[in-house]
Chains A and B, each alone.
Chain A
């Protein structure tokens, strides 16, 4: 099955700096890569996703890049703000008749004001 590794597990940045979270996946059949943000005690929510036919996608201060050859993808947050503090999960979705999503272990991001 799919295996998703995520680094780092914790990340502290100063407000205004950039944050980068990296993930690798094992199954070359995966073709959908979402990122979820989970605030303390809350539900995970999708913040951005990318499909295998695209190398990069940007939405305001967040961007995701995908390298299918190397099987890795990254989340970039620029101009970080305290409200960006949360746990971020990358995920890979298996190409098949249904959506089986495998999550990474999460990155706890702390933005220091």
Chain B
């Protein structure tokens, strides 16, 4: 099992460009979470998705950010018109189906580090 795969690991964008971050969950996992980590800070919840559904996007900024998890292919976090404040590490995590708040572990990817010039 290859684990949670994120790409790109590093991404540099100029202000106003778009950033697309991809996440392939662990095999057999159908739940995907995106977290943002600013330098020297903790992990902030952004969005929780299941296949073809956004379950909770309460942590997503209202503008410029969107996420999807299509039936086929990886989950994608898209940031339009990036600004310097978007520079951060974006971590994806996955968990298996049927997991509830009382059951267990989130499996994290290595993260995608976005730098906005």
Contact B42 A105 (CB under 8 A): yes
B43 close to chain A: CB less than 8 A: yes
Contact residues of B: prevailing secondary structure: loop
Contact A49 B101 (CB under 8 A): no
Nearest-Cβ distance from residue B58 to partner chain A, whole angstroms: 7
Could you tell me which residues of chain B, from 36 to 81, have a CB within 8 Å of some CB in chain A? 41-45, 48, 55-56, 58
Supposing A45-B108, A89-B43 touch, asked if A98 and B100 sit within 8 A by C-beta, the answer is: yes
Task: Note all chain A residues with C-beta closer than 8 A to B31.
Answer: 98-99
Contact B102 A51 (CB under 8 A): yes
Report how far A102 CA is from B44 CA in the complex, Å: 7
Report how far A30 CA is from B48 CA in the complex, Å: 18
Among A6, A45, A99, A105, max chain B CB count under 10 A is at A99
Nearest-Cβ distance from residue A11 to partner chain B, whole angstroms: 15
- The bracket for how many chain A residues form the interface is 20 to 34
Report how far A100 CA is from B109 CA in the complex, Å: 17
B105 close to chain A: CB less than 8 A: yes
A113 close to chain B: CB less than 8 A: no
Report how far A97 CA is from B56 CA in the complex, Å: 11
Chain A residue nearest to B6 in the complex (CB): A43
Supposing A1-B58, A43-B110, A101-B106 touch, asked if A96 and B101 sit within 8 A by C-beta, the answer is: yes
Contact B109 A43 (CB under 8 A): yes
Report how far A101 CA is from B48 CA in the complex, Å: 10
Q: Mark A70-113, 1 if CB is under 8 A from B, else 0.
A: 00000000000000000001000111111111111110000000
Contact B101 A44 (CB under 8 A): no
17 more CB-based (< 8 A) A-B contacts, given A43-B109, A98-B100, A99-B100: A1-B58, A32-B101, A32-B102, A32-B104, A94-B101, A97-B100, A98-B55, A98-B56, A99-B31, A99-B103, A99-B104, A99-B106, A100-B48, A100-B56, A101-B33, A103-B35, A103-B45
